[in-house]
Each structure stands twice: as C-alpha cells, then as structure tokens.
Chains A and B, each alone.
Chain A
Amino acid sequence: MHKFYMELIRMRFLTMLAYRVNYYSGIIIYAINIGAYYFLWGAIYGGQQQLGGLSVAQMTSYVAIAWMSRAFYFNNIDMEIAQDVREGKVAIEMIRPYNYLSVKTAQAFGEGIFRFLFFAGPGIFLISLIIPFHFPATAQGWGLYLLSLLFAFLINTQVNLLTGLLTFFMFRNDGMIRAKRVIVDLMSGLVLPISFFPGWAQTLMGFLPFQAINYYPSLIFTGVTSAARAWQLIGFQVIWMVVILIPILILWRMARSRLVVQGG
C-alpha cells in the first residue's frame, strides 16, 4: 500500500513535468506576483520603519516566502474531485481497493513536491539575488519552517477535500470553489500579514484554520518568532489538522452512502 502511494506521488510529479508550458507560465506568474507585491509594499511603507509589527526587510522576506509556500501547498484537488463527480468517474474510484481521498492527497503531494523543487527553489534563489532577503540563520530555523510548511500543505489539502466533497451534495459548485480560493488567499495571510488586520478581525480569524496555511510558516521563516513560539504555532497546526479531519470523515461517509443510494 505504501508503495502504491509512492507511485502515485511519482506519477503526478512526472505529469507535472510533462506540461512544460504550464511550468514556464507558472514561473512567470510567480515572478511577477512576487515582484509586484514587493514594490507595492515598498510604496506602502514609504518612509515608515515598521508596520503591523514587521520591518521593511521582514516584510520583503514575508511576501517572497508567502508566495513560495503557496507554491508548495496550493493544489486543485477540489476541482478534480468536482470533475470526477460530475463525470461519474467517482463511482469507479469507489470500487477500487484504495481510499479515494488518500489517493487525491498523494497526488496533491506529488504536485507540491514538483512545485517546491522547480518553482520555489529556483524562485527563491533568483529573488535573493535581486531583492534583499533574509534566510533563516540556523538549521533549526529551516527545520521548523519546513515542518510547519508540511502541516500547511496538509491543512490546505484538507480544506480542498472538504470543498471537493461538497460537490457530492451540490453537483455544481465551481463558484464556491473559486470563492474559497480567494478567501484562503486573503485569510491565510498571503496578500496581507494577519497582524495588519484590525483587532476584531484578528480575533475572528483566530477561530478559523486559514492562517495555519500560510501565516504561521511564513512568520517562522522571517524569524519574527522565537523557537518556542514556533513550536506553539506548529502545535496549533496539528490541532487544526485533527479538527478538520472530523467533518471530512463525516462528509465522506455521507457521500458514500449517497452514492450507493443513487447508484453513481
């Protein structure tokens, strides 16, 4: 079984390699996005030393690493699930001797590794040549970031599984999936560090899992947090991961029984 999932990850990795126009356009998009936000933030800071608890230098690192982290955790498995459901492929997936959701997660992971190695890796290197950029100083800092990034991937994938599973009950939910994507981008701290939001909004977002997807790992990377605080953030991520697992399992069970009733 373990071997099977490894094979899935490898397959998706190879598939990603095959679509080279995708690859090149992805690099352009990420480069422009990071560049645009970098200058935008430069203009926003103007002469000011610190905004929302971050210095200009930290903000620069934050913007770059937030996009790079996104390269790893971002995937479209909710769209893929929706398509499988609409085209009736999911019924076939159900009779196969594996868990559909784990398969999707493995595929997303293969995609994530690809993007991390081929987008984020070269991207970070290029950006560090052009704009002032701070890497974590210690091996421990790197380790904490990567660990936190892994959980970020898992939580985002779970959120996607959740929206994807809703397709079983709504048939068409492309609109919702797209709305979720922009909401995640905003609430995860990709476009704005959470510390920029007014107090009441920060409190509200504390009750939501989205900042565990980007804000936590990016904070750890920029070195704004102490190691102790970093462990605490990773702890939050683990809690969120367990919490989101519950509705997924419930929805999955409901979806399966629904499929049996309808006969696919």
Chain B
Amino acid sequence: MQNAKHIYSIFADYLSQYFKTRLAYRADFLGDLASNLISELINLVFIIVVFQHVPLMGGWSRDEIIFIYGFFLVPYALFSIFFGFWDFNERYIIRGEMDRILTRPVHNLAQVCLESIAPDRIFGVISGLIIMGYAAIQLKLDFYWYDPIIFIVLSVSGALIYGGVYTAVSAISFFSDSRTGISPMIYNIQQYGRYPVDVYNKIIRFVLTYILPFAFVGVYPAAYFLRKETWYIYAAMTPVVAVIFFGIGLLVWNIGVSKYRGAGS
C-alpha cells in the first residue's frame, strides 16, 4: 500500500515531465491525435457501411453495435494512456534501458508505464462517450443513477484486462533472445471484442472469454447498458476477470524480470 501511494505521488511528476517534453514536438502531437481519430472513424465506417446492406447482424441492430464500439473505446483509451510501451523490446531490452529502471526504488512495471505515459489518448474517452451518447439516444436507452459508477468500474476493469494481457505479451521480451515484434500484435489485438461474441463460433467465443478475454472489454459490459439480460452475469464478472488477468500479467512480468539478461556483455 505504501508503494502504491508512492507510485501515485510520483505520477504527477512524470505527467509534468511528459508535458514539458511534448511541448518540444507539437507537430507530432497533432499527428498522433489525427491518426487516432482516423482509426476510430474508420471502424465506425465499417459498421455503417455494412448496415446499409443488412438490418441486423446476428440479431444486433446497427445502433447497438455502435454503442458497443463506443463503449469499447473508453477502456481502450484508458489502457493506451497507461500502457504506451509498445516499443518495450526495442527501447528497454535491446537498448538496455531496463538496467536503469531496475536500479530505481519503484516497482519496475510502474516505472515503465510512467515513462511511456500518453495522456493525449484521453481524447479516445471523449470520442467513445460521444459515439455512445449518439447510439444511446437512437436506442432511447434509460439509465439509473448508479449507472455512471458501474460504467467507471467496468471501464477501468476493461483497461486492466488489456493491461494484463499486454504486460504478459511484453514480458516475452525478457525470455526471448531475439527481437520480438510485440507491437503489431498489440495493434491487432484491439480488433477483437468489439463485436457481439455470439456472432462467432464456439472456439473463438471461448478464446475471447477465457483465454484472451477481450469480450470483457467491449460486448459483455456494454450489454449491461443495452439491458441484454442474458449477458448480465458476464458483465458482472468483468471486474473479477480484470483482477485475475492483471494478476497473471504482473506475475509473468515479475518472472520475466528475474530472467532478464541485460543488454550487451
């Protein structure tokens, strides 16, 4: 607990460090913003175009699918803010920055997260909320007073699920002695779980629920707000899954650190 408090207190320092650095490269900042916005829009285009040809997809309407996508963007953005070390292998293993991390008195994963923090991804939360808001109006959804709280809990849980899987995948770098291309894997990972899992066959549904549980980042929690009662149990399980998978990620990471070989001789 003491440690968590310390991490929280240096978080602000890293944040200010980030903004000071970022001011030096303003063009890059805008480019990143535009590229994120474009990827979000393109996924929306897919949904809209497809629904010009069909009224339903596996029993789900266009606006329901859009709502799920909007919801998905929120935990994904939270995840992107804190887990921005997509160049982990290159930067920390090959160039040996991990050496420095390990000689500092803060948990090493926390340091790596803080050093690659990307607060500008907060805009993903905003676009997610806008998309969800649009879909909610179209669907005439009703909300209870406690729904915002549930929304926050589910979003944070979703971000932790991504974080856990991502951490475990990144930790492969500790074990492998070759360059590992984890960044394309992460780039592709965000594809899944955005669509209702019941459109997939059993195997993929199983994978997305129990092995790479990305369904808990999009469909399952969103189903709660869409009032799809068949999925309520899954929605309720989201925080549990988050704790388990983040724990697994942390465990794999810690084992990886003990296997760390250092760069050079």
Contact = CB atoms under 8 A, between A and B. Distances in A.
A and B touch in the complex (CB under 8 A): yes
Interface of A: 18-22, 25-26, 28-29, 32-33, 35-36, 39-40, 42-46, 48, 51-52, 170-176, 178-179, 182-183, 185-186, 191-192, 196-198
B184 A21 contact: no
B58 A43 contact: yes
B179 A22 contact: yes
Given A25-B184, A43-B57, A43-B199, A183 B32 contact: no
Contacts of B46: 186, 191-192
B38 A197 contact: no
A39 B56 CA distance: 14
Contacts of B191: 33, 36
B83 interface: no
Interface string B97-126: 000000000000000000000000000000
Interface stretch (B47-55, B142-150, B158-166, B224-232): B47-55
B245 to A, nearest CB: 18
B181 A22 contact: yes
B31 A25 contact: no
A196 B53 contact: yes
A39 B176 CA distance: 34
Given A21-B172, A172-B28, A175-B28, A39 B201 contact: yes
20 contacts: A19-B179, A19-B181, A21-B181, A22-B179, A25-B180, A32-B188, A36-B192, A40-B199, A40-B200, A44-B50, A44-B54, A46-B56, A172-B28, A174-B28, A178-B39, A179-B34, A179-B35, A179-B39, A196-B49, A198-B49
Nearest to B180: A21
Nearest to A79: B183
Contacts of A39: 199-201, 204
Interface string B182-199: 101100100110010001
Residue from A36, A172, A186 with most neighbouring chain B CB atoms (10 Å): A36
Contacts of A186: 42, 45-46
Interface of B: 25, 27-28, 30-36, 38-39, 42, 45-46, 49-50, 52-54, 56-58, 172, 176, 178-182, 184-185, 188, 191-192, 195, 199-201, 204, 207
A19 B180 contact: yes
A32 B211 CA distance: 13
A179 B38 contact: yes
Given A20-B178, A44-B53, A191-B42, 5 more contacts: A25-B184, A25-B185, A32-B192, A39-B204, A46-B56
A42 B201 CA distance: 10
Given A20-B178, A36-B191, A192-B49, A173 B184 contact: no
Nearest to B50: A44
Contacts, number: 114
Given A46-B56, A186-B46, A174 B199 contact: no
Q: Which 5 A-B pairs have the closest CB atoms?
A: A175-B31, A43-B199, A179-B35, A43-B58, A22-B181
B50 A176 contact: no
Contacts of B179: 18-19, 21-22
Contacts of A32: 188, 192, 204, 207
B253 to A, nearest CB: 16
A197 B46 CA distance: 9
A44 B58 CA distance: 7
Contacts of A191: 42, 46
Nearest to A173: B31
B31 A176 contact: yes
A35 B46 CA distance: 17
B204 A29 contact: no
Nearest to B195: A40
B39 A175 contact: no
Nearest to B200: A39
Contacts of A25: 180-182, 184-185
B49 A197 contact: yes
A29 B185 CA distance: 7
B219 to A, nearest CB: 13
B200 A175 contact: no
A2 B45 CA distance: 44
Contacts of B185: 25, 28-29
A158 to B, nearest CB: 21
Contact of A36 (B38, B176, B204): B204
Contact of B38 (A45, A46, A171, A183): A183
A175 B25 contact: no
Given A19-B180, A25-B181, A36 B200 contact: yes
